[in-house]
Amino acid sequence: MPGFELWSDAERKHVNDVLETGILMRYNFDGPRKGIWKAKELEQEICNRLGSKYAQLVSSGTAALTTALSALGVGYGDEVIMPAFTFVASFESVLSVGAVPVLVDIDDTLTLDPAAVRNAITPQTKVIMPVHMCGAMADLDALQAICKEHGLFLLEDACQAFGGSYKGKKLGTIGDAGTFSFDFVKTVTCAEGGAVITNNEDIYIKSDGYSDHGHDHIGNDRGAETHPFIGYNYRISELHAAVGLAQIKRMDEFIGIQKKNHAALKNILATVPEISFRRIPDEAGDSCTFLSWSLPTAAITNAVVNEMKEQGILAGNFYYYNNNWHYIRKWDHLKNSVTLNALSPELKEKVIHHANKDFSASDAIIGRNISTLINLSWTEEQLKEKGEKMVAAVKKILAKHSVSI
């Protein structure tokens, strides 16, 4: 999955272009930078490859979500519906703009359950935010229909699914806005970085200003720019953009390798009848960063995880049920609304309420799921060995649990 696995001279060249000018900031210094505008180039490349009208680079995926929510006007009193299986940045960004993160159950896509979304809508709901976890997409047709019916924004958190698509459209381009992360372990990396993409000019203009202290970026004198609204510093640097510019030009290469390795590993695991696989609304659009597979029960799954750990083959296999970063079960800081800056009593009460709801439907899915990272650097021999060892571990546990194999 991570682009850093296949580091090349291309990344070094683009970084050296910036170092040779000494201009590390993305804005101004027009003369000394000698025509080197890596952030602008990367934004245009994102638009070209994804089919989006606008792209605004920022410092992280978290910054992208915060910026997009602000550009959509989300704030005090608003509710944002999101899945209980995501990365902590999803709810952090909602809290950062003063809104309420409303977590709901997932379905067998490992993404938002449309039925749970419908049940969670209130007069305060403003945004539905699907998170395309582990490289594959939510049921966007169903979610779009709900948004249209209720007059809501659709914000795609595609931070884990860069390059994926849904029915011929790239993920992130289907909603009112989409966000990406380009951190160190993403398919395309800037080391640290993110982006907001949209086809809406107003959302783009607001994202552009909000991520740079509210600057309107009109003219070529930064000191003379006005500030139509208050913003924050979520800028990306030219050094980070340079890395991403090299990486995005290799996007097709990376995703091609992911798809090949994903298919090969899936074929090996599919030899075990008790193993089932995640439902993907559009399998052709899976970016294949992970292979997500399930076993008959949570007890068997936990035993397989422990067996792989004992054998030293757990690396790259994620059991999110016990993961501190990605699933509601371990988010005690959210459940207790532990913050360094005090939330309003009203917001704190709502955060605690929504984080402590019954997520047993999601538990039943995540408790049986293992997601295996698809590496770009595997040789055929390494992939085959990994798959066979995983299968052997699974069969050993199935035999112990008296499950036919």
* Residue 109: Cβ-neighbour burial (10 angstroms; 0-12, 13-18, 19+): buried
| CA–CA gap between residue 307 and residue 221 (Å, rounded) | 62
Catalytic residue among 186, 206, 350, 386: 186
| CA–CA gap between residue 143 and residue 145 (Å, rounded) | 5
Compute how many other C-beta atoms are within 10 angstroms of the C-beta atom of residue 213: 14
Compute how many other C-beta atoms are within 10 angstroms of the C-beta atom of residue 346: 11
Instruction: Examine the residue annotation and report whether 186 is marked as an active-site residue of this protein.
Output: yes
Of the candidates 398, 384, 135, the residue with the CA atom closest to the CA atom of residue 267: 384
Of the candidates 27, 67, 37, the residue with the CA atom closest to the CA atom of residue 197: 67
Q: Which amino acid is at 153?
A: F
- CA 267 → CA 143, 177, 276, 281, 352, distances in Å? 31, 36, 12, 20, 43
Q: Are strands 317-318 and 369-373 parallel, antiparallel or unpaired?
A: antiparallel
The contacts of residue 89 (CB under 8 Å, 6+ apart) are 60, 61, 62, 65, 159, 181
Strand ranges across the sheet with 317-318: 276-277, 290-294, 369-373, 317-318
Q: Which residues are catalytic?
A: 186
